[in-house]
Amino acid sequence: MKRCPHCNRVESDDALVFCRADGTALVNDYSPLNSESGTMQFGSTAQSSEVGTNILSHATNADVSRGTGPTTVLSVQQVGSTSSLSKTKRRRITVSIVVIAVVVVAATTAVVVNSYLSRKSRKSIESIAVMPFVNDGGNAEVEYLSDGMTETLISSLSQLQNLNVRPRSSVFRFKGKETDPQTIAKALNVQAILNGRVTQRGQDLLLFVELVDVALDKVVWSQQYSRKQTDLVALQTDIARDVSNRLKIKLSGSDEAKVTKTYTTNPDAYQLYLKGKYYYSKYNAESYQKAIDYYKQATELDPNYALAYLGISEAYNNASDWYLAPTEAMPKAKAAVQRAIELDDTIAEAHHTLGILTFWYDWDWATAEREMRRAVDLDPTYTIDGLYLAAMGKREEAIRAEEMTNRRSPLDLQFGMDLSGIYVTAGRVDQAIEQSRKIVELDPNYWGGYQELGLALVRKKQFPEAIAALEKARTLDNNPSVSGYLGFAYATAGKKAEAQRVMDELKESSKHQYVPAYSVAIIYAGLNDKDQAFEWLNKAYADRSFYIALLNFEQTLDNLRPDPRFKELLRRANLPE
């Protein structure tokens, strides 16, 4: 028989070690020892002539209670005068006390050892968010440095296959916001947060970084670096290696080579590249050209700088069909990314970009998919582009791919927009509305969320709400895309005068800026003026507009699909009917 000295529960199973009620270590249930001169009873409430004695006599109850695991104090209470006990009985009592002490010590030791081993065997951190480094000096002229160092570190750490690193699009949503690590970790679903602060004083750089383990809710590592600005490339390498060593138990030689890989040894070229990245991320008419200029200067200083060529390509790609005609922008984008791949065939992003360019501009579907798959082979975090799959008629596959991308980058507004559009195409309009509202909730000042919400509501024929959403989008960013969709919504709702007004504004704007012909075509489609709609679609085809690649995707053209001219357009673009 065994008994719990804490609650007096009796356990008949001798195999048990701990009480099933409260987890206290069990002891053998000895029968009371009666004698003429004294009594020994565990847990007895009888009065005694002596004060009970703690087995762990050096510790108070409070001290023991702070220990880890079942460390309830076991006492010999109400022990009678031992002076009259026989030597045999004394020995039996002593043995009993020793047995109990051994049980307690063994149980406590086991807990401590297990806790230690648990800490030693804790898995390495497998997911991290590198938060935007703070520009500690507040000088806007060097903001590119703090942002650029953040992006470079994200890129370096992303090379580790067993480490999930949140992309720029997700972490930069928190830039400039005072947000606690627990909130960030929950939003991004990561185990660790890396924070940094950058100070530039003349040619000197000071960088302080700290790694926060979210589960422990504490800083587990911090480091301060002091370098000359001419040592910027080496500094980035040192940080990437140091952070990796704190995240992983051990880096293999190939892992360390990936993490510390540099694409230029020229510090001036590197700084120009960081400036290009800074302006590229602003996504406006003025900044895209500045980005291209800085990237080009970087390639002039280092003609073998593959990432700078990739930057040129991405900037031209984003300007295409937005600020520049595709026939002007896309050949330059394609030439730059091909040069990047010639210099380094292992850059996954370069292959993905080439796949996108081939999809949007060349309408060479086989090559587009091959390049995207090459990117996936190099970096499994990439996926086949969801819009490409939707354009090929693989709508369910497109949804799975885009949902996976959104799980990886939950705060990326553009990916969220793409998913909403794919939902509409697949007939999942309610999901599209829900997804669009998530985008609006993430950023109430982002026009794209309202645009996608408006288009989904048009599909539901909720025209007043749809028009309100699209009007809101245009107040946030009066670009030709949202204007075209607004005009389409007016036309579909039967508001012909309002649709005509928007179309006239677009035509007037085209006299001094690039306006996609597609934006005019969809308004004519909404008005059911098919002849004019096809005329403007043919203009879009001549411009090699990326909208042509989405002919099988866009809901705005549904009333044109039965027309033989639409099928001819699909054939010319090599799209499946």
Per-residue pLDDT at 185 exceeds 50: yes
Q: Is 284-377 the same fold as 127-262?
A: no
User: Could you read off the pLDDT of 349-375 as tens digits, one per residue?
Assistant: 999 999 999 999 999 999 999 999 999
**pLDDT tens-digit map of 451-497:** 999 999 999 999 999 999 999 999 998 889 999 999 999 999 999 99
Look at residues 2, 3, 6, 4 and name the one whose alpha carbon lies nearest to residue 73: 6
DSSP codes joined into one string, 545-576: -GGGGGTTT-GGGGGGTTSHHHHHHHHHTT--
What pLDDT score does 281 carry?
Answer: 84
521 torsion bin: left (phi>0), alpha (psi -120 to 50), beta (else)? alpha
Chain CA centroid to CA 317, Å: 24
The pLDDT of residue 491: 98
The rounded mean pLDDT for the chain is 81
Tokens of 107: 């149980």
- The class of domain 383-468 in CATH terms is mainly alpha
Query: 326-343 vs 348-357: helix axis angle to the nearest 10?
Result: 150
Give me the pLDDT at residue 160, please.
82
pLDDT of residue 203: 85
Instruction: At 457, list the tokens.
Output: 């509501």
Q: What angle do CA 363, 364, 369 make, to 5 degrees?
A: 115
Residue 283 has a pLDDT of 73
Q: What is the CATH number of domain 127-262?
A: 3.40.50.10610
| Predicted local confidence at residue 62, as pLDDT | 36
Question: Would you state the pLDDT for residue 48?
Answer: 36
Residues 45, 84: Cα–Cα separation, whole Å: 21
Answer yes or no: are the C-beta atoms of 421 and 453 closer than 8 Å.
Answer: no
DSSP states along 539-552: HHHHTT-GGGGGTT
Q: What is the pLDDT of residue 274?
A: 93
User: Contact at 8 Å (CB) between 452 and 432?
Assistant: yes
pTM as predicted: 0.73
pLDDT at 68: 38
Phi, psi for 214 (deg, rounded to 5): -65, -40
Residue the block writes with tokens 């984003």: 318
How far apart CA 77 and CA 74 sit, in angstroms, is 9
User: What is the per-residue pLDDT for 478?
Assistant: 87
d(CA 448, CA 417): 7
Least confident span in 177-181, 213-217, 228-232, 407-411: 407-411
Strand order in the sheet with 10-11: 10-11, 2-3, 27-28
State residue 329 phi and psi, 5-degree precision: -85, -45
* Contacts with 274 (C-beta within 8 Å, 6 or more apart), sequence order: 144, 145, 147, 148, 149, 151, 152
CATH of 284-377, one of 1.25.40.10, 1.10.3720.10, 1.10.10.10, 2.60.40.10: 1.25.40.10
Residue 163 CB contacts under 8 Å (≥ 6 apart), including other chains: 125, 126, 127, 128, 157, 247, 248
190-223 pLDDT tens trace: 999 999 999 988 888 899 999 999 998 899 999 9
Higher pLDDT, 113 or 141: 141
Average pLDDT over residues 309-330: 94
Domain ranges of the chain: 2-120, 127-262, 284-377, 383-468, 478-577
What is the C-alpha separation between 413 and 423, in angstroms, rounded? 15
Q: How many CB atoms lie within 10 A of CB 340?
A: 27
Q: What is the pLDDT of residues 77-89, one digit of tens each?
A: 343 333 334 444 4
| The pLDDT of residue 145 is above 70 | yes
